[in-house]
Amino acid sequence: MDRKSLKLPFREGSHPEWTCPSCMKGFLRIRKDTFFKEEIRSSRHHSYDEWEPEWIEYVYSCLLLCTNDQCKEIVACSGVGSVEQDYGEDEDGQPVQEYEDFFRPKYFEPPLQILSLPEACPQSIAIPMKESFRLFFSSPSAASNCVRSAVEELLTELKVRRFDLKQGKRRFISLHARIALVPAKYEDLRDLILAIKWLGNAGSHGTVGEKVSPWMM
């Protein structure tokens, strides 16, 4: 997946090249006559003297079609939009003020595959990762929390123990402590896993939305 395509807002007639989540070969294009947009209720007060076009807020929905003739997957997409000011030139080369609608996706169904998962990836890891893909645009904090869960499962697959026995009682080992127990042959992954853990912690405490968004990743 091209990360740049995930960060960009789009115009109705031109959007990023989102890779088809089913075949991973074709690109998704807005299917003809399926794009609908409407202003939300709080955006409709155009009679105010102070009103500016930048106050406009939309919701939109559309269907996307895979360009791969062997696939032709249909993906539902919805999100939000706004109006932004731009400057162009008229036929005489004079600057003119223009306004354009821009849209940002919040949901894809089936979800885009943000990362390519190996075919041999255990389901215990793949399931929370795929759930993070589903939440990537709508809730970065929830998505990062799913990735944290995937890290826990990865450590289990690497045979890192989950429990300790203390005074005859079984107690969970913290994720941070488990990372320190990663076998030596995977030591080169330890710092990377630790970084993912910190991002997941931020998601668990609801702070990712303040510091991290899908447009920054």
Q: Which residues pair with 102 in a beta bridge?
A: 82
Number of domains in the chain: 2
Rounded CA gap, 37 and 101, in Å? 10
Q: Among 81, 113, 145, give the residue marking a domain's end.
A: 113
The answer, as to whether pTM is greater than 0.75, is yes
Q: Among 64, 97, 113, give the residue marking a domain's end.
A: 113
Q: Among 113, 147, 172, give the residue marking a domain's end.
A: 113
Residues in contact with 182: Cβ distance below 8 Å, sequence separation at least 6, in sequence order: 155, 158, 160, 189, 190, 193
Residues 83 and 139 in one domain: no
Which letter does DSSP use for residue 47 in this model?
Answer: T
Q: What are phi and psi of 120, to 5 degrees?
A: -85, 5
Residues 62 and 35 in one domain: yes
Residues 173 and 207 in one domain: yes
Residues 54 and 65 in one domain: yes
* pLDDT tens track, the chain, 217 positions: 667 778 788 998 888 889 999 999 999 999 999 999 999 998 888 777 778 888 899 999 999 999 999 999 999 999 999 998 877 777 777 777 788 999 999 999 999 999 889 989 999 999 999 999 999 999 988 898 899 999 999 999 999 999 988 877 888 898 999 999 998 888 888 888 988 888 777 766 655 544 445 544 4
SS3 annotation, 160-200: CCCEEEECCEEEECCHHHHHHCCCHHHHHHHHHHHHHHHHH
Domain with 204, as residue range(s), is: 115-217
